[in-house]
Amino acid sequence: MKRAAASNESALAEVRDWVRTAQRIVVFTGAGVSAESGIPTFRDALTGLWARFDPERLATEAGFRADPPLVWRWYAERRAAIARAQPNAGHRAIAACEADGARVTVVTQNIDGLHARAGSRTVLELHGNILRVKCLEGCGDPQRIEPRHDWRADPRVPPACPRCGAPLRPDVVWFGELLPQDVFERAEQAVLDADLMLVVGTSALVHPAAGLPLAAHAAGARVVVVNPAPTPIDARAAQVLRGAAGEVLPALLQSSG
Ligand code: OAD
């Protein structure tokens, strides 16, 4: 492993070379990639959501069942903030790399939809998407609620499932829940097929998602970490670029590289 500051031009040049010659790239992202869009991370001291709010109350099914209006309102506020946010230079650099012809799969733990809004075409959302809702009792397919039913017009807090009347909940993965199996399987396959994986803005503490960089490394891919702070993946990384995603990714992925 080599460690380098983001300002270290030779480290950047080396990774840019890897990007240019890679056959298939996975960009694995966490909350840090959206930090510069004004969306708080989870575990950063003081500013992280889990430093200020209790995940047991707000990010578990038991917490939702204990107080559905409280949890619904918390996600409604986050949804509104995310709707106001814009993709940043990091999201845009990833999308531009794919538009330039690289075979890029974005595997994200984020629920904000900003990769797609930046123009990334292949985005696997491991933890769901806050803009969607699903039935708390799982009576139907979450994708099919919205076209048939405008839950935003329902004055109840939370709105009710149009099929069975149970509360609707955000279509995000809460603690103790399984990841969407089809999405995770596609992510695993993309990781196995990749020869380069960029691990951007994640503390890499939450499994099973955090196992994907380890799987990439075990399968022989080069793993590059982009993060201002140390992560558990650094020890396996071929290069560690210390810095903010919005600064490092444009420097790394610009097509002239
Ligand atoms: P964390 O909050 O755990 O980690 C955010 C990471 O982003 C940290 O390593 C920071 O150092 C880094 N970071 C901060 N600002 C950055 C910037 N401008 N550029 C690059 N990196 C930056 O967030 P996640 O790793 O995404 O789960 O958390 C994983 C999961 O835990 C989330 O998906 C969520 C949470 O509970 C669910 O919602 C299921």
For the chain, give every domain's residue range: 1-38+87-127+179-257, 40-84+130-172
125-140 CB burial, b ≥16 within 10 A, e <16: bbbbbbebbbbbeeee
Would you say the CB of residue 221 lies under 6 angstroms from ligand 1? Answer: no
Would you say the CB of residue 167 lies under 6 angstroms from ligand 1? Answer: no
Would you say the CB of residue 129 lies under 6 angstroms from ligand 1? Answer: no
3-state DSSP assignment of residue 252: helix
**CB neighbours of 139 closer than 8 A, spacing ≥ 6?**
161, 163, 164, 166
Element (H, E) at 75: helix 68-84
149 counts as catalytic = no
CA of 205 to the centre of ligand 1 (A): 9
Would you say the CB of residue 35 lies under 6 angstroms from ligand 1? Answer: yes
CATH superfamily, domain at 40-84+130-172? SIR2/SIRT2 'Small Domain' (3.30.1600.10)
40-84+130-172 has the same fold as 1-38+87-127+179-257: no
Q: Are 242 and 6 in contact (CB under 8 A)?
A: yes
3-state DSSP assignment of residue 218: helix
Would you say the CB of residue 193 lies under 6 angstroms from ligand 1? Answer: no
Q: Position of tokens 């210390």?
A: 242
Taking CB atoms within 8 Å and a gap of at least 24, the contacts of 181-187 are 183/124, 183/125, 183/126, 184/126, 184/208, 186/124, 187/105, 187/107, 187/124, 187/126, 187/212
CA of 65 to the centre of ligand 1 (A): 26
Q: Position of tokens 């380098």?
A: 4
Structure tokens at 156: 């109840």
Q: Are 218 and 246 in contact (CB under 8 A)?
A: no
Q: Whose CA is nearest to atom 31 of ligand 1?
A: 206
- 185 to 60, 176, 181, 207, 255: CA distances (angstroms): 23, 19, 6, 14, 30
pLDDT in tens, 100-139: 999 999 999 999 999 999 999 999 999 999 999 999 999 9
Separation of alpha carbons 69 and 142, rounded Å: 20
Beta bridge partners of 124: 107
Separation of alpha carbons 250 and 15, rounded Å: 12
Separation of alpha carbons 152 and 255, rounded Å: 41
pLDDT (tens, 9 = 90+) of the chain, 257 residues, equals 545 444 478 999 999 999 999 999 999 999 999 999 999 999 988 889 999 999 999 999 999 999 999 999 999 999 999 999 999 999 999 999 999 999 999 999 999 999 999 999 999 999 999 999 999 999 987 777 777 788 999 999 999 999 999 999 999 999 999 999 999 999 999 999 999 999 999 999 999 999 999 999 999 999 999 999 999 999 999 999 999 999 999 999 976 44
Out of 115, 127, 149, 207, the active site residue is: 127
Would you say the CB of residue 37 lies under 6 angstroms from ligand 1? Answer: no
CA of 67 to the centre of ligand 1 (A): 26
The predicted pLDDT at position 255 comes to 67
Beta bridge partners of 242: 5
CATH class entry, domain 1-38+87-127+179-257: alpha beta
Structure tokens at 41: 């991370």
Q: Whose CA is nearest to atom 36 of ligand 1?
A: 42
The predicted pLDDT at position 6 comes to 43
